[in-house]
Amino acid sequence: GVLERSREQLLRQTCEAVLLGVLHPRTAISLVLQVLSDAGSLLSCCLNAACMALLDAGLPLAALFCGVTCALQPDGTILLDPTARQEQEARAILTFAIASRERKVLMATTKGSCSVEEMQQCLAAAQSAASTIFQFYRDSVHRRYSKC
């Protein structure tokens, strides 16, 4: 449907921003994501899975990226990585794709409405949360390479 298509486009644009496509001209790189279970924050889950898949495949990347979802509740508090229930009750849901270099924003998408200050606050929260995710990437890769 249209929602899946828009998710595909967002993922594609994020991946194209970090992949070094110059090293593979005239080549198609296809990424297949299969949703096994959806407990909320699906887009950021897809972003994280896509980054780990690209890492695992050995494709040349200029930076790593991760996805963080922020839910703005009706009383103004920010919830990171909301569940499906919290997403439904929220006033606005913002998803950011954050790069590992200087925590730059690669992609931002919003559902619902929020003010500019609230968006900046969500972005700051997402950038600090991204460090935890990148540490998780590092630990997973470390575990994999410590076996050989």
Partner 1 sequence: APQGRLLCGPGLRRSRAGLLVTKCGLLRHRPGGGGAYWVDSQQKRYVPVKGDHVIGIVTAKAGDVFRLDVGGSEPASLSYLAFEGATKRNRPNVQVGDLIYGQFVVANKDMEPEMVCIDSSGKSSGMGIIGQDGFLFKVSLGLIRKLLAPKCEIIQELSQLYPFEMVLGMNGRIWVKAKTVQQTLIIVNILEACEYMTAEQRKQALAKLSGN
Residues that bind partner 1 (CB under 8 A): 20, 22-25, 27, 55-58, 60-62, 141, 144-145, 147-148
Nearer to partner 1, 1 or 58 (CB): 58
Nearer to partner 1, 2 or 148 (CB): 148
- The nearest distance, CB 116 to partner 1, in angstroms, is 31
Distance CA 63, CA 105 (A): 12
C-beta atoms surrounding 117 within 10 Å: 8
Distance CA 46, CA 4 (A): 11
Is residue 92 within 8 Å of residue 69, measured between CB atoms? no
Nearer to partner 1, 21 or 76 (CB): 21
Beta bridge pairs of residue 92: 72, 112
- The nearest distance, CB 76 to partner 1, in angstroms, is 39
